[in-house]
Chain A
């Protein structure tokens, strides 16, 4: 559901865009209100100015009017227009007309437009309004006349001497006198707005990036979830306690959970497969073992009582060797945990040290040995020794000449912990799930049953087995609970 085409834009641009819009809208409204106020004030100024000027001029005009002195009257009405500079420029009247009591022009600042003795109301509708406004009320009061649909307004002042009305002074003002002031105001506020935008834009862009970057990184990390779980540590975690910080934290938590679940699933998959393989091989081993025992017995009996000749003897030997090998293999597959065995002693473990030392010396290995088991442990010594031997021989085999092999055994929290590590070539990640399957070796020597046997023993002793293999370090950790 897209609200606008802008909805898809990155926050990086959305936020500065919104700042621009906010600034412009604010500037617009502030300017508009200022323009309105300025217009009102200008108008008030104008009207007050016009009223004052009208009274002064009307006073000054009484003598020229009484004396019928046209030139003096002209000099009087012209005087405000001669002033220049400042507000008087904009406030100066566009036209000044002095009319006698019959509304005939006595004098004006524009003699060509308002000829002497003519009635301006006959030529200009505005003056018709002025005339009717003056005629309607008390003609001896000053009034502001604003003819409708006119771009001028008029201040009409009666000219009175000794209580006798001599005529009217009409000051005409163009409404356009406000325009330069308003134009100036608008120009200034546009400039200020641009200035503010110039400051705010980089600021908001920086702010937007600060806000958007963690979100964008989070979004990218989330996109990866479907294909491959990202490392939770790689997710940007903000120290902030706001929504973004909390989101990042929650996302990290979710990733950790997902990862654990994924690992658990993989482990279960491996364990199930190994269990299946174990059941299968055990079944097959049993099925093979019985006829195998019979065959070996038969061969034995035949050799002892059948007086075989030389060729037959040779054949029987061949058969016997083959069958024996089968029996060994099957026996290896069939890990029997129920073998009676004495509890494990520290000396049992030391034996293994001696056994492996020979192989380790051959490779000039740096063999580090920590046996921290100080007393007998109620675990079958044969099986534990088997595990240690398998792992250590594998480790020695894995290293290059002069490599590092370490073994650490200890009892901790009612568990026997065995740690074996080496710095040889590491195990590929692809191979890890199949590592404990029988015959899965990638080495030319060995039957590929060492780890299978180890795994089976650990399983039967209800222990845990963990492999960690990366370049430079391959580590097996086995924990066996003490019964």
Chain B
């Protein structure tokens, strides 16, 4: 009798320990998983640690970041619901918006917009458009990137060129920062990058951007947004959105935003990405 009572106590205690921090949201099986892509400087691990700690404190929930080698893997993880949120490019969002929900859009220089840059080696002082680079080696960042792939493809199509054969050789670096490096060392004679990433890199690692020159800037396009998996519980969606939108209102969040070179987040509107959707359709039709 005594022994049974004791066992019961031990079991109860074990349960209490196991549920621990999760007690406020009963039934949640795991921590909040946020997918990241190189739409920002996602290789600054120390900064990511601070950002994660900030989210955990604000959410009151363990947070883990998920990084993969390409946009595609993160997109798939969101679509199948294996991760709760993701910072993605506008291009996959327009393609798969039936599988995800727009959570928030970053404000860059006061607007939820950014540009795609055409960069060339600093030694190249003549190039001003994509068409000047005919027959050259060109570096794309990711096939699912708007600024690093879709925009140049679209621009070439509009110029009457066939993007598949216009360059002598193209390759993907799977990251905007690496496009800057590839062009900087002369591996490629041109590259397409996220303008926000290039600008931010110019502040953090000026020696990398100094080896390149921005030859062309695209019109303003919808900034890569934060999305949520389609079946995210409403409370969690609201909680996360509140954290992002409120970042600029507390000192710690503001400091992190400064590191991100962003002004804050807004709830955003799906129409922000209409121009990207137009380009995506044009490119798909052109193939």
Taking Cβ atoms with an 8 Å cutoff, the residues of A that contact B are 68-71, 74, 107, 111-112, 116-117
Contact = CB atoms under 8 A, between A and B. Distances in A.
A69 B171 contact: yes
Contacts of B137: 116
A200 B187 CA distance: 60
A68 B171 CA distance: 9
B171 A71 contact: yes
A70 B168 contact: no
Given A71-B178, A74-B185, A116-B169, 13 more contacts: A68-B171, A69-B172, A70-B169, A70-B171, A71-B139, A71-B171, A71-B173, A71-B182, A111-B186, A111-B188, A116-B137, A116-B187, A117-B168
B137 to A, nearest CB: 6
B188 to A, nearest CB: 8
13 contacts: A68-B171, A71-B139, A71-B171, A71-B172, A71-B178, A71-B187, A74-B185, A107-B187, A111-B185, A111-B187, A111-B188, A116-B137, A116-B169
B174 interface: yes
Given A70-B169, A71-B139, A117-B168, A112 B186 contact: yes
A120 to B, nearest CB: 15
A107 B174 CA distance: 17
A71 B171 CA distance: 7
Nearest to A74: B187
Which bucket holds chain B's interface residue count?
10 to 19
The residue among B173, B174, B187 with the most chain A CB atoms within 10 A of its own CB is B187
Given A107-B187, A111-B187, A117 B182 contact: no
Nearest to A71: B173
A70 B191 CA distance: 14
Contacts of A111: 185-188
A69 to B, nearest CB: 7
Contacts of A117: 168-169
A111 B211 CA distance: 14
Interface in B16-57: none
Nearest to B171: A70
Contacts of A69: 171-172
Contacts of B171: 68-71
Contacts of B186: 111-112
B68 to A, nearest CB: 15
Given A107-B187, A111-B187, A116-B137, A74 B182 contact: yes
Contacts of A70: 169, 171, 187
A107 B182 CA distance: 11
A71 B169 contact: no
Contacts of A71: 139, 171-174, 178, 182, 187
Contacts of B172: 69, 71
A71 B188 CA distance: 10
A107 B139 CA distance: 14
A5 B93 CA distance: 96
Nearest to A68: B171
The residue among A68, A74, A117 with the most chain B CB atoms within 10 A of its own CB is A74
A103 B186 CA distance: 20
B129 to A, nearest CB: 22
A111 to B, nearest CB: 4
The residue among B139, B168, B178, B185 with the most chain A CB atoms within 10 A of its own CB is B185
B257 to A, nearest CB: 31
Contacts of A74: 182, 185, 187
Contacts of B169: 70, 116-117
Contacts of B185: 74, 111
Contacts of B168: 117
Contacts of B182: 71, 74
Contacts of A68: 171
Contacts of A116: 137, 169, 187
A70 B137 CA distance: 11
A74 B185 CA distance: 10
Contacts of B188: 111
Nearest to B172: A71
A229 B20 CA distance: 118
A116 B188 CA distance: 9
A112 B211 CA distance: 13
A275 to B, nearest CB: 118
A35 B137 CA distance: 47
Interface string B169-199: 1011110001000100111100000000000
A455 B186 CA distance: 124
A64 to B, nearest CB: 10
A74 B168 CA distance: 18
Nearest to A73: B171
B83 to A, nearest CB: 25
A294 to B, nearest CB: 145
The 7 closest A-B pairs by CB, nearest first: A70-B171, A71-B173, A112-B186, A111-B186, A111-B187, A71-B171, A116-B137
Nearest to B141: A71
Nearest to B139: A71
Contacts of A107: 187
B47 to A, nearest CB: 21
A116 B135 CA distance: 12
A111 B186 CA distance: 6
A358 B187 CA distance: 136
A74 B169 CA distance: 15
Interface in B201-254: none
